[in-house]
Structure 1
Amino acid sequence: MRKLISGIIAASGLMVAGDTFASKCSWRGGEPSPSIRNITAPAQIAITAAPIGGELARYSVNLWRMETYSFCFGVSEASMSLESGLLPSSQANVYETGVKGIGVKFCVVLNPSNSNVYSCLPYAFIVPGVGGPFVPQSINVIFVRTGRDVAAGNVSLKFKSVWRHEENKLTVESEGTTTLVNDVMFAGCESVGAAVNVQMDKQTIQHIKNGSAREVPFNFDVRCSGLKSGAKVPVKVYFEGNSQADGMLKLSNLGQAGVASGVGISLVNEKGAKLPFDIARSIALDWNRDDADGSIYRFSGKAKYAPTGGEMKPGKGDATMNFVLNYN
């Protein structure tokens, strides 16, 4: 009986020892300290120009030593969560900031040999064999352009993220609000006021033939928001209409009774350049003034009747065109 009992105790002891060894994970390269990293968002950060989906700005914070990694025997799981009050955007791993046209993503560097390789939160993956992942060495808070119109404003960057590899755990907690400063992009532009009606009045055929027809000035305003006062607006304008070439608009209802022939409307800007009827030749707008809702940019031009070739006949000389704002 004594030998039998002794054998049972020995077997039980081996089972407990083996079970504990199989489930235990350890730190290699030193245990990370502290296990909770508190970071504070910068008071403000300036954005740069970028296409939709591109990076507008970022800031980075170091977390733990790059040589440290978590080690487990057998298949294991690693993950990093994200808890925040931000809503997901239409782009993967990008969250809405509440500022028009700007999203944010949170990405950690896990590769000690290449800081340009990072994983964006949240994520999870399986470690297939013996070993484990490196701890997060740094976190990049990256602001991303999500729309055509880009504004400025305050972004709450309070969030919590937990890195786990089985029972090993590290926590990142962030507090604060960042002001996004925008001196290079804008929230959008729109036409100010009603349609422009250029009164050409009556002109004689002779004056049109010899180039002495009266020149009529006109202008229109565009309001752009999200820019600092006097900033050079990244917006250009071109025109659409029944045009035979830049700077020459055909009359409406040509060939119909009572409509003049052999005549068009010559159009130039205040510097004498022909108005473009193609996006590739768009021209810039000039800052005029600021108002409570943004900055006002003005286009100024001149119109007059001009010969287009062929026999000139008197009649009605109306024409219409649209202006198109070109920005991205």
Structure 2
Amino acid sequence: MRKLIFILMFLACLFARDVFASCSLDNGVPQLKDIALPTRTIIKAASIGEELAKHRVYLWPYGGGIVCNGSNVAAITTNTALLPSALPRVYETGIKGIGVKFCLGLNAHNDNTWCTPFSWTVTDGAGAYPPRFIDVVFVRTGRGVASGNAPMTFNAMWDVGGVRLTIRSQGTTELVNDLFFAGCESVGAAVNVQMGKQIIENIKKGSIPEVPFNFDVRCDGLKPNTKVPVKVYFEGNAQADGMLKLSNLGQSGVASGVGISLVNDKGAKLPFDITRSIALDWNRDAADGSIYRFSGKAKYAPTGGEMKPGKGDATMNFVINYN
């Protein structure tokens, strides 16, 4: 009988202590804090995972606090329609390459912050202070970075021992990107340059006509009329810059002693190495990005050795270099 009474009393004490471990808010500390973020922000250069821009808003001043008894778990969370990104504690903004994180600081005299979601243990009230500021940090999440409006409607909550403080934001922030491309891609199908039938003697004399060709590249993620250089180089079975070897050389029915000479519209030989990339010309702005154009010329040219007739096909790829 004595043993049973001892167990019941021990459980009652545990229960009483658990109820007693709670917190209360000092008088004069409002539980809701509305904040306003800038409507427009110009981002800076940053590597993936690093800060593009930051807004700090100061919250509850010193002098008010939270009184706690016993140990309590403090937690900071964010209630938002934004989806989590692949980076920890970073949310997608809906703008390509840009995420956002919400970080609270407990001391206005240093920059230490904890980004949501995060939790820690408060013992006997130690560290149970209302957050002094919030940092809304825009983060680069990918190689391509665009511009656009980021929805900044969210509630950031600080909870401890039954007390909740809420930081509320509404509206949008326009993020302006003057630095990065969101990406570039070719426009249209593969370019098929019809070289036609040519006489060997005319190729030897260099009297055959050049065949013009061009292709377009679309880049998005920049403001209209931003004419940032985009470069290109080529890949293929090249004898040297500006001279492409024929496909299937040495096989029956394939011409020999001839290749395809390639220059741009300014007469520069097309490079087959990234270190010699050449600029594309800005052509126009479109609804879905800026259009850059390459214009070139191709013709058959002697490569040395005996020139024999046959098929004269060749292929090459162009590689966009915009970083």
When normalised by structure 1's length, the TM-score is 0.80
CA distance in structure 2 between the partners assigned to 1:292 and 1:171 by the alignment:
40
2:225 paired residue number: 230
1:153 to 132, 148, 152: 148
Q: Secondary structure at the match of 2:95?
A: coil
Contact 1:74 1:130 in 2 (8 A): yes
**Cα separation, 1, equivalents of 2:283 and 2:106:** 51
Tell whether the 8 Å contact from 2:22 to 2:72 is kept in structure 1 after alignment: no
1:286 paired with 2:281, answer yes
Name the residue aligned to 1:87. 83
| Contact 1:72–1:132 (Cα < 8 Å) also in 2 | no
The correspondence of residues 264-279 of structure 1 with structure 2, limited to 5 A, is: 264-279=259-274
* Aligned counterparts of 2:27 and 2:265: Cα–Cα separation in 1: 71
* Structure 1 residues 238 and 133: alpha-carbon distance in aligned structure 2, compared to 1, 3 A threshold: farther
Displacement of 1:212? 4.5
Structure 2 gap segments, 5+ residues each: 1-12
Post-superposition Cα deviations, 1:70-118, rounded to whole Å, max 9, x if no partner, equal 5656543222121111111221111122223322111122354531x32
Quick one: structure 1 residues 87 and 32, their matched pair in 2 at CA, closer, same or farther if it must change by over 3 Å? farther
Mapped partners of 2:164, 2:80: distance in 1 = 19
The number of equivalent residue pairs is 308
Q: Could you tell me the percent identity over the aligned residues?
A: 63
* Structure 2 partner of 1:125: 120
- Residues 31 and 165, structure 2, Cα contact 8 Å, conserved in 1: yes
**Structure 1 residues 36, 198: CA separation in 2 closer, same or farther (over 3 Å shift)?**
same
- Asked if 1:47 is matched to 2:43, the reply is yes
Contact 1:67 1:134 in 2 (8 A): no
Range with greater deviation from structure 2 (99-108 or 42-51): 42-51
CA shift, 1:26, in A, is 7.8
Does the 8 Å contact 1:70/1:131 carry over to 2? Answer: no
Aligned residue for 1:87, secondary structure, equals coil
From 69, 93, 96, the counterpart of 2:92: 96
Deviation at 1:223, TM superposition (A): 2.0
2:214 matched residue in structure 1: 219
| Counterpart for residue 10 of structure 1 | none
Contact between 2:29 and 2:64, CA under 8 Å: does it hold in 1? no
Task: Map 1:173-188 to 2 at 5 A.
Answer: 173-188=168-183
Do the aligned residues in 1 keep the contact of 2:259 with 2:302 (CA within 8 Å)?
yes
Q: CA RMSD in A?
A: 3.1
